[in-house]
Homo-oligomer: A and B are copies of this chain.
């Protein structure tokens, strides 16, 4: 039986009594714009201090104010890359005076039940990471006037804000880079097939090849994990004719690919070029020195938070979709185009 909180909670009434003023005065003391004399303010503050009073945000929000709570819906919080995103979000939101209500979701099914929960907490806004919103749910958010921003996901059908990296463009840049490097047999190792991120990256890559009259030489499927990259590369290398370059849907798989290649006696990039996507921390390690696309997490998150905060603080019907370019980071896991000068 969840006992009631040890009731000695001190409320504004207690403070008012001690200070010998009205309860409203206490409220005004904690309301930025309110008109109250400095003298009274001090009296209240003194009493509050003495009692250890803290305004109750919950009660405040009940009377029509914002909760300053943002629901962050996320899958795979434990994944290092997602963790960086989450860290950036919570920090950035805190800077704007918002707090994060974390919803750890397993799959798109979990989402459908998590979101109503968040809504129950009267969140002022919702960040959706790596999950796609269904129309009916989006409609409910809209009905409650709760702005939503999707991160690294887009949906043309559902009217919802979104901010993300331009995966297709990044993949196209990678294709160009490999083409210029003289590669002719390009393979792609896919991430989870139905993730939009994977689809965008593959689309961009094949488009890039197509622009030069080329096609994918081979294709394998993985699940974004190191092991998947390792194994898929094993299959690729077992072919009668080997690819001369592999684009992995993310860095983890690319790192697995490099390890596999080396274990198979191949030199990277002399015998095989490998490129990834994300620019995870490990991509910069000397051992891998992975050529990849940097997803500017801070920039992405900042943009997403700005979109959301803006939607909260000055509501509008307009919907914004923001695509932010990634940056090609040239390291040593892929053969360089002749005459290529690496930037610092």
Contacts and interface: CB of A to CB of B under 8 A. Distances in A.
B285 A9 contact: no
Interface in A130-145: 140, 143-145
A313 interface: yes
What is the oligomeric copy number?
2
Interface in A61-77: 61-62, 64-67, 69, 72, 76-77
A101 B99 CA distance: 7
Interface in A1-60: 1-6, 8-9, 52, 54-59
A152 interface: no
Interface residues of A, number: 64
Interface stretch (A86-94, A183-191, A212-220, A335-343): A86-94
Interface string A279-294: 0000001110000000
A116 B53 CA distance: 10
Contacts of A286: 259
B64 A4 contact: yes
A67 B313 CA distance: 25
Given A8-B145, A59-B62, A104-B90, A116 B54 contact: yes
A272 interface: no
Contact of A315 (B3, B57, B87, B104): B3
Interface stretch (A119-127, A195-203, A236-244, A323-331): A119-127
A117 B143 contact: no
B83 A119 contact: no
26 contacts: A1-B313, A4-B64, A5-B64, A5-B66, A5-B122, A5-B146, A6-B145, A6-B315, A52-B143, A54-B120, A57-B122, A58-B58, A58-B62, A58-B67, A58-B122, A76-B87, A77-B90, A78-B84, A78-B87, A80-B83, A86-B86, A86-B102, A87-B104, A99-B102, A101-B101, A226-B285
Interface of A: 1-6, 8-9, 52, 54-59, 61-62, 64-67, 69, 72, 76-80, 82-84, 86-88, 90-91, 94, 99-104, 116-117, 119-122, 124, 140, 143-146, 226, 259, 285-287, 312-315
